[in-house]
Amino acid sequence: MCRPCLPTVPADVVIRDATERDLPAISDLSNAMVTTSTIAWTESPETLAQREAWFEHQQVDGNPVLVADLDGTVVGYATYADFRDSHKWPGYRFTIEHTIHVREDHWGRDIGRALLDALIERGRVAGKHVIVAAVDSANVGSIHFHERLGFVEVARMPETGHKFGAWLELVLLQRIIDPGGRR
């Protein structure tokens, strides 16, 4: 399992709630590998207007958006939303799916761990039971990152995505964040 889920933030990094000022940096982080990898299953980088609409939606839904701030520069972000449409399918209301991105030149500094630890704590406080990671199978580094943090692979879904002329395999990992199941 993972070490206790207390944020292990590097001394020079602050994990905080995102603001509208952070949206250009968050958009840049999301777009960083869109055109060169299968980390994100889209071929079109998002616009700042799309990110602004997303942020407003996250706020309306009460979903946290956290950033890793290094001396005033956003070097990572993490967020979650419903795993599936919990309004249509309320049985999923205790399950969330997260997104996390850290600037590549800051990998290996425990920034991702600190972001995910803080995000999991927010989910736990919000009454969530399970957090899901959906990762492209070629992104072995992300799979290992999640496993080190207590996520367990629960499914591989071959040929569920398509990018760069090839079929992609989705790996689902999950972690129970409320083991007592206080329902």
> Nearest 5 degrees, angle CA 142-CA 28-CA 136?
25
SS (H, E, C) 8-46: CCCCCEEEEECCHHHHHHHHHHHHCCCCCCCCCCCCCCC
CATH code of the region 13-176: 3.40.630.30
Report pTM: 0.91
Q: What digits encode the pLDDT tens for the residues 60-114?
A: 999 999 999 999 999 999 999 999 988 899 999 999 999 999 999 999 899 999 9
4, two tokens: 């206790």
Selection from 155, 99, 97 nearest residue 131 by Cα: 97
